[in-house]
A and B are shown apart, each in its own frame.
Chain A
Amino acid sequence: MSIWSEARLVAGKDLRIEARSKVTLTQVLPFGAIVLLLFAFALDPDRGILTKAAPGLFWVAVLLATLLAVARAFSIEEQHGARDALRLSGLDGGAVFLGKMGAIAVELLGLELVLGIGVVVFYDIRIERVGVLLLAALAATAGLAATGTLYGVLAAGLRVRETLVPLLLLPVLAPVMLGATRSFEAALGGTTSDAWPWIELLGLFAVIYVTMGVLAFGPLLEEV
């Protein structure tokens, strides 16, 4: 099997598990929605601030939900020795990385769609420049998923992984937060040209972490 076939196999397995367990739908998604609502309650007296801060609040909610999605993606490998079975399967480490990253990215894109609707409804945002928003969201999601998958395997097997992953991941994801927020701000209130440098940053970040993940995931899976 090619690396892409193996990645599709792993992604299909993870998405099937999520579709059946509905953890993303019943836990991660409500968590993101609650975060958005809490921001709305906290900043409601001044609706102008809420509207202005909407891109940042949206990506904070996505970022926090990413932590849950990453934890979930690796907790399914801890049950019943599935991680050992994955190591014994003969699947390429890079393919496993791409598969798990792909599944997390699909879940995050679905989450972003619903949270995006929530932002429009709760924060009174008017959507403009849909193409730029989509491009920025795709690049940011790829970066979030790639980094989450890489740091997820780093902490897999550790008893402290639930607390360690956020500690490792959040500082590393600062450039994604910055780029995604600025590109959304530019798309919603500025000009398209203002968004491009940030989208390029997001793309570069994603390429770097996907490359690192493909190369490092296999050896890291062996070490944990």
Chain B
Amino acid sequence: MSVVCLRSVVCLLGRFPALTGLDLTVDEGEILLLSGPNGAGKTTLLRVLAGLLPIHSGTAEVLGYDLTQDRRGARRSLALVGHDTGCYDDLTVIENLRFAARASGRSADAVAPVLERLGLTRLGGVTHARLSAGQRRRLSLAAALVRDPSLLLLDEPHAGLDADGRETLDAVLAAAPGEGRTVVLVSHELERARALAHREVVITGGRVQSAAVPDASEPAAAASADVTDATGSAATPAPRVTLSADVSESPDVTVPR
């Protein structure tokens, strides 16, 4: 079942066409990595999926909601971790998370397990203004998880995190499919992200250039067009399958996992 289904989506930022006829399908429980050069439209795509930006043509369906008709419906079941935390400087970590939980209709009891999971328990009484950049990234992820989203949209989630924070984030992402979550991830830390992703879609110039099953061992600069099955465990190493994945003519390609 598709959680995201975009067809010929065009999104203008002012007069600048940020997405230029983009097609994309994301299946339930999938971890999708979006890669591509700066300015390719990755962040814009995440904001379109989150219903924060309108589309100017094409069709966009997220979690069964038509984004041209009902952006609010989709938002109830998704969370976006962007460059900003979306939190308030003068509220403590716990207060920010309680607000996020209750605003999405969840009980404030949901906060404690998330705090523990992200290693924020001891910072619960600290205001957002006093957190370090890495701690703010963790809080941002916590504010997303406390909503228990079906679709988790992450924009450069590894940025600013220390080694421990990255491990924690990777564990959260790896567990996402088992928790019924679909993840769309934008990252420039390709090796790390590819190790987690089921599929990689390369975006260039506001449209999908290629789709592939990623290989974490691929050099970051060269891997965009190769398809490598990386879903096997260490005990059953995945066969390396390299396909010509330039799908610019038919850009929405799903490689079976």
Contacts and interface: CB of A to CB of B under 8 A. Distances in A.
Given A88-B50, A88-B52, A90-B76, A9 B87 contact: no
A191 B188 CA distance: 73
Given A16-B95, A80-B128, A81-B82, A89 B87 contact: no
Interface in B98-124: 99-100, 102-105
A9 B85 CA distance: 19
Contacts of A89: 75, 100, 103-104
Contact of A88 (B75, B90, B105): B75
A89 B89 CA distance: 18
A88 B99 CA distance: 13
Contacts of B83: 81
Size category of the binding interface on chain B: 20 to 34
Contact of B87 (A1, A20, A80): A80
Nearest to B85: A80
Contact of A84 (B72, B86, B95): B86
Given A13-B91, A16-B91, A16-B95, A91 B85 contact: no
A175 B40 CA distance: 51
Interface of B: 50-52, 71-72, 75-76, 78-80, 82-91, 95, 99-100, 102-105, 127-128, 143
14 contacts: A1-B105, A20-B127, A79-B88, A81-B86, A82-B86, A84-B84, A84-B86, A85-B100, A88-B50, A88-B51, A88-B75, A89-B103, A89-B104, A222-B71
Interface of A: 1, 6, 9, 13, 16-17, 20-21, 76, 79-82, 84-91, 222
